[in-house]
Amino acid sequence: MLRKWQSITLWKRVLIGLALGALVGLSAHYLGGEAAINFVTNWIYPFGEAFVRLIKMLILPLIFTTLVVGVIAMGDPKRLGSLGFKTIALYLGTTFFAVFLGLISGTIFKPGEGVDLSNVDPALRADLAKTATQETPTISESLLAIIPENPVAAMAGSDLIPVIFFAIIIGIGIISVGEKGKPLADFFDSAERVVMKITLFVMELAPFGVFALISWVMADVGLGIITAMGKLALALYLACFVHIVVVYGGILVRTVLKLPLVRFFYGVVDAQGVAFSTSSSSATLPVTISCAKDNLGVDDSIAGSVLPLGATINMDGTAIYLGIIALFAAQALGIDLSLMDYVLVAITVTLTSIGTASVPSASLFLAFAVLGVFGVSLEQYTLIIAFIFPFDRLLDMMRTVTNVTGDIAVACTVAKWEDQLDEDVFRAEPVH
């Protein structure tokens, strides 16, 4: 029985877990009453949380070792600068399209029209207001935060950007000392292989973790709020779908790379399944790297540098979402936006989405900066966000799928430009 289960490709097993979890959760919500919902929350959900923790346990070791090994594999520090420029330029370019799609989708579907904000939970509104008023760091503070005063403390605090900076510096240092750095290079290479193998073990638990997480979501919110928020969900899901197919698939994979779309999407489906269930680009990173390398032929040096960076700065799903939320708020509050308002929203969304924490629902708390562009007050902001918040997990799932797909598409593109993409592997049957 176990061998038969393992013979099914991972994404199919994740899909089975997703379907069964939705069935159990909806049954608990509509048929089982409060006792059944409590059972799902207390006895099933912890297994999902345990799965997410197992993945998060691997994030920092994986990012650190893969980045160091990736930098070492380049062999030339100058190449790292060229690679970084191409990567960031691609991420910014796709974010521009994402903002554009979000604003178009929000304009077409008008998700905020007719929204009644009178039933928002006052307690939740107060909590969100407190979060929104926390001070935003200045540009100089943000720049200084990139350099860790204490790398160990940065790792302990899961502060990814300083960890990424430190890993790149270590890799450059190993390259610079030449032959004397080889023992340390071998150590990191061995460590990266060990972490990747542990990751594969953990990913075998993905279907069960997905089952537990989806059971909890559906038991908690049911389908009622989906009906109430249908237009917002439709606007987001459709915009994300178009972005994935047209921008990542049509522009990057088909036009720039001249490679088959079907193979690309079949190669990334495992990462998409995990992203949908965990709602975290960082938590999905281990399987994202595995898909890029094993299914699509991206070289270790590219996968180890571009993908961890993407999990931190590539937030196209967030950009789409923030654009839609801006129009949702304007429509719900009866604010007419001028052309300049749209331009300012687009610029603010682009800047705000970069570096969004890659954890569930983080983008909701960045919306205050975007809504402030056209005069939304703190009280109005908290009304809007408190209305959306209970439903945000299901929206966040699709945002994360978009982000992760973009990470892999950019990695493939950079690998092709650097002549580090094995097209035979890309065109072959994916490894699961």
Strands (E), 229-381: none
138 assigned to some structural domain = yes
Assess contact for 259 and 298: CB atoms under 8 A. Answer: no
pLDDT of residue 311: 77
Residue 207 predicted with pLDDT over 80: yes
259 assigned to some structural domain = yes
Assess contact for 317 and 78: CB atoms under 8 A. Answer: no
CA pair distance 80, 78, nearest whole angstrom = 5
Residue 407 predicted with pLDDT over 90: yes
Rg of the chain in Å (alpha carbons)? 22
CATH code at position 423: 1.10.3860.10
Could you give the number of structural domains in the chain? 1
pLDDT of residue 359: 47
Residue 362 predicted with pLDDT over 60: no
pTM of the model: 0.73
297 assigned to some structural domain = yes
Collapsing DSSP states into helix, strand and coil, what is residue 429? coil
**pLDDT: which is higher, 376 or 330:** 330
Give one DSSP letter per residue of 42-110, joined into a string. Answer: IIIHHHHHHHHHHHHHHHHHHHHHHHHHHHHHH--HHHHHHHHHHHHHHHHHHHHHHHHHHHHHHHHH-
**pLDDT: which is higher, 169 or 358:** 169
Banded model confidence at residue 265, pLDDT cuts 50, 70, 90: very high
Nearest of 179, 186, 215 to residue 26 by alpha carbon: 215
Instruction: Return the HEC string of 168-192.
Output: HHHHHHHHHCHHHHHHHHHHHHHHH
CA pair distance 322, 325, nearest whole angstrom = 5
Phi first, then psi, for residue 421 (nearest 5°) are: -115, 120
**pLDDT: which is higher, 290 or 131:** 290
246 assigned to some structural domain = yes
Collapsing DSSP states into helix, strand and coil, what is residue 148? coil
432 assigned to some structural domain = no
CA pair distance 293, 431, nearest whole angstrom = 10
As a whole number, the mean pLDDT across the chain is 79
Give one DSSP letter per residue of 365-418, joined into a string. Answer: GGHHHHHGGGT--HHHHHHHHHHHGGGHHHHHHHHHHHHHHHHHHHHHHHHHHT
Per-residue pLDDT reduced to its tens digit, 182-198: 888 889 889 888 887 88
Nearest of 270, 275, 308, 220 to residue 404 by alpha carbon: 275
CA pair distance 188, 186, nearest whole angstrom = 6
Burial class, 353, CB count within 10 angstroms (exposed 0-12 / middle 13-18 / buried 19+): buried
Per-residue pLDDT reduced to its tens digit, 62-117: 778 877 877 776 666 666 666 777 887 888 888 888 988 998 998 898 887 776 66
Banded model confidence at residue 365, pLDDT cuts 50, 70, 90: low
Domain containing 52: what range? 2-427
Rounded to the nearest 10 degrees, the angle between the axes of helix 10-27 and helix 261-278 is 40
Burial class, 161, CB count within 10 angstroms (exposed 0-12 / middle 13-18 / buried 19+): middle
Phi first, then psi, for residue 120 (nearest 5°) are: -70, 135
Stretch 325-341: mean pLDDT, rounded?
84
329 assigned to some structural domain = yes
CB atoms within 10 A of CB 86: 16
423 assigned to some structural domain = yes
Residue 379 predicted with pLDDT over 90: no
CA pair distance 137, 158, nearest whole angstrom = 18
pLDDT of residue 88: 79
Banded model confidence at residue 402, pLDDT cuts 50, 70, 90: very high
DSSP letter (8 states) at residue 364: G
Banded model confidence at residue 404, pLDDT cuts 50, 70, 90: very high
235 assigned to some structural domain = yes
Residue 356 predicted with pLDDT over 90: no
